[in-house]
């Protein structure tokens, strides 16, 4: 959820690694899993799907 919220805020992979203390490959793996679970092809679709499903709200941004 932290990665999804960061993506919704427009964070890059580099920024996510800094904010969450993770390595880039870990962030990319989490993003791939998020895309798969939300049937999304990119960050924008993932955020849109998460908003529609109520996983994140505008208040999270």
| Tokens 């890059």 found at | 12
Rounded Cα–Cα distance for residues 51 and 57 (Å): 6
Pick the CATH number of 2-56 from 1.10.10.10, 3.40.50.10440, 1.50.10.20, 1.20.140.10: 1.10.10.10
Rounded Cα–Cα distance for residues 3 and 11 (Å): 9
The domain locations on the chain are 2-56
Residue 9 CB burial class (10 angstroms; 0-12, 13-18, ≥19):
middle
Residue pair 17/28 in contact (Cβ under 8 Å)? The answer is no
Q: What is the pLDDT of residues 7-51, one digit of tens each?
A: 999 999 999 999 999 999 999 999 999 999 999 999 999 999 999
| Residue 61 scores a pLDDT above 90 | no
Prediction pTM value: 0.90
């Amino acid at each position: 959820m932290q990665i999804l919220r960061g993506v919704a805020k427009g964070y890059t992979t580099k920024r996510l690694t800094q904010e969450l203390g993770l390595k880039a490959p870990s962030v990319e793996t989490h993003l791939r899993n998020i895309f798969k679970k939300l049937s999304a092809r990119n960050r924008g679709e993932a955020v849109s799907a998460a908003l529609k499903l109520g996983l994140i709200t505008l208040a999270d941004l």
